[in-house]
């Protein structure tokens, strides 16, 4: 006997270099929402240490952005671990077509969500087919290493995509931290691949693997520092996000 309904596959993962909620990234978000519920849940958690004005900026920007796209905006003001374990916040994730983690401090984002009810709800939505996106700090937090180039602090990421380490803003990042690329490349653990994602650019997973979307390029950086660029539309062969992690391993 076969199941009446086939199992639902996890949705795509989008790792974005910069530009969350801005017009130049509308096409990426439209594609992530296509064929999914027009309900976008977004979390400004990574901006929590920057204060209420910055958090409110992301909430306003995200709300306006998803309204323009014809989706219901669902801002989740999850700023600390108490918020992240709040059943009401976790319940609000259900039914999302897209869950989006915006920018700020990647280590703070990963540490705030790790092992919480909100993270379990996010992963459950993704396993049920919702798209899951992270921009800048959000992209780092979804991968193996949640580094913060501003402080030098390195924290473990949430490992939704455990084989990748991401450097966002890659076309500008060495202006802010001259040795960050070499340092991150030389520190890769076995089985990890370093990915640089330019601003206004996304690396999006799908049934056929990864694809570069947006405006610029994605770079694969070898341990010796060699950089291979991939233009929009290219499909670099990279480790995927499956199998989905469980809270016991995060």
Q: Take residue 55 and report the two structure tokens written for it.
A: 């958090």
At 148, is the pLDDT very low, low, confident or very high (cuts 50, 70, 90)?
Answer: low
Tokens read off for 118: 């909100």
- Give domain status of residue 142, yes or no: yes
Question: For residue range 122-136, what is the model confidence (pLDDT) as tens digits?
Answer: 999 999 999 999 999
CA distance 231 to 2: 42
Identify whether 206 is part of a domain: yes
Residue 212 domain-assigned (yes or no): yes
Domain presence at residue 224: yes
> Residue 51 sits in which domain range?
13-233
| pTM (2 d.p.) | 0.91
Average pLDDT over residues 95-102: 98
Residue 209 lies in a domain: yes
Dist CA 246 CA 250 (whole Å): 7
Residue 136 near residue 16 (C-beta atoms within 8 A):
yes
Residue 220 within any structural domain of the chain: yes
DSSP 55-115: HHHHHHHHHHHHHHTT-EEEE----SHHHHT-HHHHHHTTT-SEEEE-SS-HHHHHHHHTT
- Confirm whether 130 is domain-assigned: yes
CA distance 118 to 45: 11
CATH code at 42? 3.40.50.880
pLDDT tens, position by position, 184-236: 888 888 889 999 999 999 999 987 799 999 999 999 999 888 999 999 999 99
CA distance 179 to 153: 14
Asked, for residue 4, whether it belongs to a domain, the answer is no
Domain count, the chain: 1
**Pick the residue with more confidence: 237 or 40?**
40
Minimum mean pLDDT range among 51-60, 201-210, 235-244:
235-244
- What is the pLDDT of the chain when averaged over all its residues? 90
Task: Tell me 220's DSSP state.
Answer: E
């Amino acid at each position: 006997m076969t199941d009446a309904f086939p199992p639902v596959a996890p949705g795509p993962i989008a790792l974005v270099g910069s530009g969350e909620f801005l017009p130049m990234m509308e096409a990426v978000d439209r594609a992530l929402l296509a064929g999914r519920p027009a309900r976008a849940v977004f979390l400004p958690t990574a901006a929590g240490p920057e204060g209420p004005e910055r958090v409110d900026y992301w909430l306003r920007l995200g709300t306006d952005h998803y309204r323009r796209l014809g989706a219901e905006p669902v801002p989740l003001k999850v700023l600390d671990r108490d918020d992240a374990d709040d059943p009401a916040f976790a319940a609000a994730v259900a039914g999302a077509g897209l869950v989006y983690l915006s920018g700020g401090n990647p280590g703070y984002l990963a540490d705030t969500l790790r092992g919480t009810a909100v993270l379990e709800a996010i992963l459950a939505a993704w396993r049920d087919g919702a798209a899951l996106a992270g921009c800048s700090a959000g992209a780092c937090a979804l991968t193996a290493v949640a580094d913060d180039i501003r402080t030098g602090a390195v924290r473990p990421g949430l490992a939704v995509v455990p084989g990748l380490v991401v450097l966002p803003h890659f076309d500008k990042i060495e202006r802010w931290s001259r040795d960050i690329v070499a340092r991150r490349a030389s520190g890769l653990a076995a089985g990890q691949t370093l990915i640089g994602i330019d601003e206004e650019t996304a690396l999006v997973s799908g049934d056929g693997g990864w694809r570069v979307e947006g405006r610029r390029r994605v770079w694969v950086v070898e341990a010796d520092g060699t950089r291979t660029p991939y233009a929009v539309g290219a499909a670099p062969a990279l480790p995927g996000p499956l199998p989905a992690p469980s809270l016991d391993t995060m």
